[in-house]
Amino acid sequence: MVEVVGVRFHPAGHIYYYAPGTNEYQRTDHVLVESQQCLQLAEVALGNRELPKNKVPDKLSTIKRKANEADFATAERNQADAQKAFQIAKKKIESHHLEMKLVKAEYTFDRNRVIFYFTADGRIDFRELVKDLAGVFRTRIELRQIGVRDEAKLLGGLGPCGRPICCASFLDDFTPVSIKMAKDQGLSLNPTKISGICGRLLCCLQYENNLYEEAKHLMPRYGKEVTTPDGSGKVIGLNLLNQEVKVRLYSRETPVTYPAESVQQKKRHPDPKHSKHKEEKKD
């Protein structure tokens, strides 16, 4: 077991593990740590705890110290300067006629580097832009291309539900989301209704997906022949949450809805000719 502390560099960001040394850290504490050869201000997301060795990196950096009032003042000053850097970089991008959208700019705590986050449809040759920016800011320049989901996570906003978007609130990582999840939950497949502000499928589609998958396995599939208290028919609808099956009976024109436990799927009987052929082939 290894004692670690988990920290974040951005709200709802990925958690990185550091060694606590001889100190105790609580959740929401702010600390100074070294990241990518730069000093950074981070927030403690997980206080001191022990984890198996295979769950943490082989080499752990040690937290430098807790942040003080002077450190917070420095962070505020860096944030104000980053906003100015954003506007300057935006004009430089326009002057270089680059097809890229600048999303955010930030200084590392020690001002050893300025990081610019941007989105683009493909690869961008920004070598001349980097030289131009380095001449203005007199420090190391780093441009990071990110995806549209990362853009939404950095900028935040309100989702279709009217609440702050999940990725900027509490999701520390993105999980795969598929259109199949929307189908299983009986949602409209209209892209505008199942997509977030990033233009991708809503992250919340996967929150209850396991429950829908379990319910789906306990019920007959669409189009299958079933036996009901009123006779045989075919499944034409499923309500997974209420565990109900809609059946079009062969003896009626109007579909009937039944509780799932009262409906049994008919077993397919093997074709005698096929079975005989299989036995002859075996002999």
Predicted confidence (pLDDT) per residue in 189-206, tens digit: 898 889 999 999 999 999
Residue 187, pLDDT score: 85
Query: For the chain, where do the domains classified as CATH 2.30.30.30 start and end?
Result: 220-265
Assess whether pLDDT exceeds 80 at residue 34: yes
Residue 8 to residue 41: CA distance in whole angstroms: 9
Distance CA 223, CA 230 (A): 18
Q: Is the pLDDT of residue 282 over 60?
A: no
- Looking at the predicted structure, is the pLDDT value of residue 271 above 90? no
Q: Which helix (H) or strand (E) holds 68?
A: none
Domain 220-265 has CATH 2.60.15.10: no
Confidence of residue 241 (pLDDT cuts 50, 70, 90): confident
Mean pLDDT confidence for 225-253: 87
Is the pLDDT reported for residue 13 higher than 90? no
Q: Helical H runs in the chain?
A: 69-95, 127-137, 148-155, 166-169, 179-184, 209-217, 272-282
Alpha carbons 79 and 85: distance in angstroms, whole number: 10
- Tell me the average pLDDT of the chain: 87
Assess whether pLDDT exceeds 90 at residue 130: yes
CA angle 71, 20, 115 (to 5 degrees): 45
- pTM (two decimals): 0.75
Q: Kindly provide the b/e burial profile for residues 73-99, where b requires at least 16 CB atoms within 10 angstroms of the residue's own CB.
A: ebbeebeebbeebbeebeebbeeeebe
* Separation of alpha carbons 145 and 243, rounded Å: 46
> Which residues face 46 on adjacent strands?
6
Lowest average pLDDT, out of 30-44, 68-82, 207-221, goes to 207-221
Distance CA 48, CA 108 (A): 25
Summarize pLDDT for 102-117 with one digit per residue, the tens: 999 999 999 999 999 9
205, 199 in Cβ contact below 8 A? no
Which of 28-32, 89-93, 218-222 is the least confident region?
218-222
Instruction: Band the pLDDT of 268: cuts 50, 70, 90.
Output: low
pLDDT of residue 283: 44
In the chain, residues under CATH classification 3.30.300.20 are 72-146
Which residue, 195, 147, 192, is CA-closest to 174?
Answer: 147
User: Among 64-73, 185-194, 262-271, whose mean pLDDT is lowest?
Assistant: 262-271
Per-residue model confidence (pLDDT) at position 273: 52
- Pairing relationship of beta strands 140-145 and 113-119 according to DSSP bridges: parallel
Q: What is the CATH number of domain 72-146?
A: 3.30.300.20
